[in-house]
């Protein structure tokens, strides 16, 4: 009967290890995703914003904040959005608090009596001040110029709105998608003997140079920003010289400018356009500093990869299910070794137990 005692001990040890692993992971997740009220945060204006209880009525003054709330699962708490956020599913059921041009209608915001107002950096500080004078709690965000900024803003909005768990899930998806791009075969290796291709971003007659979010998006996709290489910093109006002298290998445009570009003679005669190297990115993905910007990076990477690596098949980054969950999350990947260990341990225990049983 010794083998039975030995077998029971092994099973108990293995089970305890598994429970310990799960317990630690769950504990860390709960600590990381917990939202506690009352809470306070210092915003971009330097004021300490105090929120006594979890907000149930939130107004978003810009589509980036709206997109973030939708992604983290807080859309039901949103009661007011701008005209430019109407692309979000269910946004047509919300009160519109802006003009068609995006100007905030203060009276509409105040009349909704929100618990919290989210004001991204594009909102004039004067607008924020007037809403505060009306007695509203307004969180004024800092400018988001990097992907890391967007990740932290997503986490922050999660805390402010009481949607911490959803925010962490979205951040995991964003990081997993970016890791999927980096795990794929490098596009620069297949382009011009190791040289990353150049991209010129064209939007509404402007381009984006060094120090902009667009610059980081281009570089994270594995390319070089043509405007940056020409010494442009920030945003600048386009002219013929920028396209002719810069000789970008690719031109990138927003999805709402396809027809306009067709009538642009300079762009149409560029080498990029004549070679069919025009990348069209969803405007809501590229022009809003919010979670879906990783889809813009993914799109750019795929377009260039397909051009320079037509002989191979790239493993595309993970996507999301319709319910927002990650099909191939980092957590699932990281748990595989534990499962393999458990299965192998169980098999070894079974073999040892049967052998000892026969001997007995």
What does each of the 360 residues of the chain score in pLDDT, given as a tens digit? 444 444 444 433 344 443 343 333 333 333 344 689 999 999 999 999 999 999 999 999 999 999 999 999 999 999 999 999 999 999 999 999 999 988 999 999 999 999 999 999 999 999 999 999 999 999 999 999 999 999 999 999 999 999 999 999 999 999 999 998 876 544 444 444 457 999 999 998 899 999 999 999 999 999 999 999 999 999 999 887 778 888 999 999 999 999 888 888 888 888 899 999 999 999 999 999 999 999 999 999 999 988 776 543 333 333 343 334 443 333 333 344 444 555 565 655 555 555 554 444
Residue count of the chain, please give it. Answer: 360
User: 188: closest CA among 179, 201, 175, 199?
Assistant: 199
- The CATH code that applies to domain 39-173 is 3.40.50.1980
Same fold, 39-173 and 192-281: yes
Distance of CA 3 to the CA centre of its chain: 54
Q: Structural domain boundaries of the chain?
A: 1-34+336-360, 39-173, 192-281
User: What angle is formed at CA 144 by the lines to CA 179 and CA 72, rounded to 5 degrees?
Assistant: 60
Answer yes or no: CATH 3.75.10.10 is held by domain 192-281. no
Q: Are 97 and 91 in contact (CB under 8 A)?
A: no
> What is the rounded CA–CA span in Å between residue 129 and residue 348?
68
User: 73: closest CA among 209, 171, 176, 212?
Assistant: 171
pTM: 0.77
pLDDT digits (tens, 9 = 90+) for 8-57: 444 333 444 433 433 333 333 333 446 899 999 999 999 999 999 999 99
Beta strands in the chain (DSSP E): 39-42, 48-51, 58-60, 78-81, 95-96, 116-119, 138-140, 198-202, 206-208, 224-225, 235-237, 250-254, 278-281
| Exposure string over 52-91, b if 16+ CB within 10 A, otherwise e | eebbeebbbbbbbbbbbbbbbbbbebbbbbbebbeebeeb
């Amino acid at each position: 009967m010794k083998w039975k005692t030995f077998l029971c001990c092994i099973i108990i040890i293995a089970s305890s290890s598994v429970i310990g692993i799960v317990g630690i992971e769950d504990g860390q997740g709960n600590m990381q995703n917990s939202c506690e009220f009352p809470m306070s945060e210092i915003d971009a204006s330097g004021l300490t914003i105090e929120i006594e209880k979890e907000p149930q009525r939130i107004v978003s003054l810009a589509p980036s904040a709206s997109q973030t709330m939708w992604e983290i699962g807080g859309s039901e708490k949103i009661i007011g959005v701008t005209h430019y956020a109407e692309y979000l599913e269910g946004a047509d059921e919300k009160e519109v608090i802006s003009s068609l041009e995006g100007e905030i209608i203060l009276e509409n915001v105040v009349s909704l009596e929100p618990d919290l107002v989210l004001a991204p950096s594009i909102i004039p500080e004067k607008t924020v001040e007037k809403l505060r004078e009306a007695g509203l709690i307004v969180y004024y965000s800092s400018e988001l110029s990097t992907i890391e900024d967007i990740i932290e803003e997503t986490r922050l909005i999660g805390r402010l709105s009481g949607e911490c768990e959803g925010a962490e899930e979205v951040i995991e998806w964003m990081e997993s998608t970016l890791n999927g791009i980096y795990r794929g075969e490098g596009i620069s290796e297949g382009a011009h003997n190791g040289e990353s291709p150049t991209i010129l971003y064209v939007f509404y007659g402007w381009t984006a140079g060094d120090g902009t979010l667009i610059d980081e998006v281009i570089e994270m996709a594995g390319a070089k920003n043509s405007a940056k290489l020409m010494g442009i910093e920030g945003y600048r109006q386009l002219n013929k010289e920028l396209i002719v002298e810069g000789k970008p290998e690719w031109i990138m445009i927003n999805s709402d400018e396809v027809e306009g570009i067709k009538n642009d003679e300079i762009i149409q005669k560029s080498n990029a356009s004549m070679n069919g190297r025009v990348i069209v990115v969803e405007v809501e993905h590229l022009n809003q500093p919010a979670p879906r910007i990783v889809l813009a990076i993914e799109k750019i990477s795929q377009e260039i990869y397909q051009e320079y690596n037509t002989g191979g098949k790239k493993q595309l980054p993970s996507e999301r299910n319709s319910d927002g969950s990650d099909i191939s999350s980092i957590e699932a990947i990281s748990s595989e070794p534990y499962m393999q260990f458990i299965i192998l341990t169980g098999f070894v225990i079974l073999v040892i137990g049967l052998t000892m049983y026969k001997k007995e």
